[in-house]
Amino acid sequence: MDNANPQDGSKIVLHTMDDDLKKSAPVPSAPVSSGLSNVQVPPAPKALPSFVAPKPLAENKPATMATPPISSTSAIPQITIPEINPLKRRIVVISTFIAIVLVVFGLGVGLFFWIRSQSSPAPVATPTPSIEGSLSPSLSTPPEISLVYPPSVTTFDGAGAVIEYKASDDLSNVLASKLPLIAQEGKAIRILLRQTDSPEGPRFTYLSNVLKTMGVLVNSELSKIMANPGDLFVYEDGGNYRLGFVSSLSGPESYASLSEGLKTIEGGFLSDFAPMFLSANFQTPALKKFETNVTLSPNFVNRYINLVNLPQNNLSLDYAINKSATLFVLATSKNSMSHVINLIEGKK
């Protein structure tokens, strides 16, 4: 496009960017077939560099951490509740019900026993009896009601042995069958007899009623001074079981008067105390006379009578009292009498 310059009338050639782009396209340099063979076409002028507008400077903004996109699926988790099988639901309900019933039942039982224990009266301690007990209901003396071991009147070997029986039993037969189980050679073992079928319950029987039940006849003069406390014992002597007892004495009599009084009644002792031999086979001597054993102890007076006991010769009826007149000892052999007196004096 040619335009005239208004000042000097010259022409102003205007070039557009399109014209420049077209001119910048390469033109083949083949020779022009014209009359001027020696004239070469001048090379095309180089294309002017295109103007590229600069990019505006970016604003200096503070750097921020890129926040990852929040997925809509992760924002609210989806919870799927499985459907409960009706059969399982029924089992759970029944099991829960049974557990509740058992808990309530256990609490009820515990509460019942607690209330019962609170309402029951406190146990009353039974004092140790100080009077003799009864062996059978036919006796007038009330039976002892304590199961506490009655205190012994002297020292024996060991703690003692308990033999139980019933009112209908033959006490002599009971003793004969039990003595081999409790007796010890050369030792005096205390025997505690306990009646198991008493109306008031099991109770120990004191010496006085034991002797009555066995059929022992205690002379009235001796019975007056024999106090209730007493102990039955067994002594094994060469394989033979010898019974005896130790009884407390009470009364105003002195040793001298008591000794003389016993001498006047000792003639009947052999028949009176015959049940103490437990049906041992023996023969009474022709002269039923008691002798004094002066070698036994200076603290005791010991009177005895030897009995003929075949084939053994260690059977006798011995009785003794101490010089303080507090104990009466009866034995069925010399060895058992000597052993018991040694125990009383603390020599064993």
pLDDT value of residue 6:
57
- Report residue 3 as tokens: 């335009």
Q: Convert the pLDDT of each residue in 2-19 to its tens digit.
A: 455 555 555 565 656 666
CA-to-CA distance for 183 and 238, rounded, in angstroms? 11
The secondary structure of 211-273, three-state, reads: HHHHCCCCCHHHHHHEEEEEEEEEEEECCEEEEEEEEEECCCCCHHHHHHHHHHHHHHHHHHC
CA-to-CA distance for 314 and 334, rounded, in angstroms? 7
Q: Convert the pLDDT of each residue in 58-73 to its tens digit.
A: 445 555 555 555 544 4
pLDDT value of residue 30:
47
pLDDT value of residue 23:
62
pLDDT value of residue 315:
83
pLDDT value of residue 311:
57
Q: Which residues of the chain register pLDDT less than 50? A: 1-2, 29-39, 41, 58-59, 71-74, 120-146
pLDDT value of residue 251:
73
CA angle 336, 340, 346 (to 5 degrees): 145
What burial class does residue 138 get, using C-beta atoms within 10 Å of its C-beta: 0-12 exposed, 13-18 middle, 19+ buried? Answer: exposed
pLDDT value of residue 52:
52
Which run of H or E residues covers position 302? Answer: strand 300-306
What residue type is assigned to position 28 of the chain?
P
pLDDT value of residue 243:
95
pLDDT value of residue 339:
95
CA angle 136, 141, 147 (to 5 degrees): 70
pLDDT value of residue 11:
59
The count of other CB atoms within 10 Å of the CB of residue 258 is 19
pLDDT value of residue 177:
93
Backbone dihedral angles phi then psi of residue 185, each to the nearest 5 degrees = -60, 130
DSSP assignment of 121-171: PPPPPPPPP-S---SSTTSSSPPP---SPPPPSS--SSS-EEEEE-TTS-H
pLDDT value of residue 180:
94
